[in-house]
A and B are shown apart, each in its own frame.
Chain A
Amino acid sequence: MSRVYNKRDQSSHLLTPHGKLPGVSFPQVPVSPGRGGAARRKSEVRGGARSGPAELRKTINMKKLKLKELESCLQQVDTFENPKLLLEQYPTRPHIAACMLYTIHNTFDDIENKTIADLGCGCGMLSIGSAMLGAGFCVGLDIDADALEIFNSNIEDFELTNVNMVQCDICSLSDSMSDTFDTVIMNPPFGTKHNKGIDMIFLKTALQMAKTAVYSLHKTSTRQHIQKKAAEWEVKMEVLAELRFDLPASYKFHKKKSVDIEVDFIRFSAKKVLN
């Protein structure tokens, strides 16, 4: 069912016979805290108008957007300048985001012309990628104003007109947004920072919001617990791929600069019975 992927599979972005996610490379380099957002953007983009995110987006033929093209677009997305550890902020890697979105779009057709919510959107990597793949309308939700500010300027850089964002606490939404989006795509916090259980709150809320499907990332170590909950909530769960993230070390006494964790990329079919 699940494969662990390595770099060599990356050459073909065609689906394997089992209809699963094509090769995803492991990030080899620790996630850097941020690329200095605004300052970098102004010097690089304003100076080189030809290669700015908006220009790149316009030259790409959306219908035949290849995985590599999507990934190079997403590399232009600015990320957190000062990631807040307690919120588990780290950017979803462009390569991972591209592979996820590509699968969601090509295998399941859950992006083009659909309404999409991105819970815990941060700087908007997944929302922007969805917009690039022809989403009808995307809304990102996040608790942090600083992240949303970066998301906002990303939207300006990419000249996107169908992406909005809302500052709110996902944990307090409960079922107020039931059945409001076709698809939810998210990289939720895992619950490693005094916020245990937050991954399941995000998942439950996402399942209430989505009419068709929820695509999410969860620690492989929690897979059985999630399977139990999925059964309880009467939603179908499919692990599409196993990935490996390297997350920045959070405490000074950690010996390594980053720590590897195994992560499942999961598709949940939206429920009909959540209370």
Chain B
Amino acid sequence: MKLLTHNLLSSHVPGLRPGGGFPLRIELGRPSELPPEPSPGYEADEEFLRRLHHVLLEVEVLEGSLQCPDSGRRFPISRGVPNLLLSEDEA
């Protein structure tokens, strides 16, 4: 799962506030190599853009989980595939 894919995903646990369930928190061992916010003029910063490209498109999360920021529900990622299915009692 690339970061670009992660950016599309949100939680569908029932009963969340509108716009809730996003973004899902990625739970991994390693800290990110990027600053939390892009600094002004980032479009011209080659070094930053390279690192951003790398993290967005070249890093794949293979195992881990995504946590819904509102309900706390965890969605597993295995072999690079996030599983957003809710169980029967949840849906």
Q: B-contacting residues of A (Cβ < 8 Å)?
A: 137, 139, 143, 145, 148-149, 152, 162, 164-169, 172-173, 176-177, 180
What residues on A are CB-neighbors of B82 within 8 Å? 166-167
- Give the interface SS of chain A, mostly helix, strand, loop or mixed: mixed
Count residues on chain B whose CB falls below 8 Å from chain A CBs: 20
User: Residue-by-residue, is B70-91 near A (CB-CB < 8 Å gives 1, otherwise 0)?
Assistant: 0000000001111111100001
What residues on B are CB-neighbors of A149 within 8 Å? 79
- Give the interface SS of chain B, mostly helix, strand, loop or mixed: loop
Q: In the complex, which residue of chain B has the Cβ closest to the Cβ of A137?
A: B4
User: Looking at the complex, which one of B8, B79, B81, B86 makes contact with A177 (CB distance below 8 Å)?
Assistant: B8
A17 to chain B, nearest CB (A): 40
Q: Which of A137, A145, A168 has the most CB of B within 10 A?
A: A168
Q: Do the beta carbons of B81 and A176 come within 8 Å of each other?
A: no
Q: In the complex, which residue of chain A has the Cβ closest to the Cβ of B79?
A: A152
A202 to chain B, nearest CB (A): 16
What residues on B are CB-neighbors of A164 within 8 Å? 1-2, 4-5, 80
Sampled A-B contacts (12; CB under 8 Å): A137-B4, A137-B57, A164-B1, A164-B80, A165-B80, A166-B8, A168-B85, A169-B85, A172-B86, A172-B91, A176-B21, A176-B22
Q: Do the beta carbons of A167 and B80 come within 8 Å of each other?
A: no
Measured in the bound complex, the distance between the Cα atoms of B81 and A167 in whole Å is: 7
> Which chain B residues numbered 41 to 89 have a C-beta less than 8 Å away from chain A?
57, 79-86
A221 to chain B, nearest CB (A): 31
> Contacts A152-B79, A172-B91 hold; do A167 and B85 have CB atoms under 8 A apart?
yes
Q: Is the CB of B25 closer than 8 A to any CB of chain A?
A: no
Q: Is the CB of B28 closer than 8 A to any CB of chain A?
A: no
What residues on B are CB-neighbors of A176 within 8 Å? 10, 12, 21-22
Q: Do the beta carbons of B5 and A139 come within 8 Å of each other?
A: yes
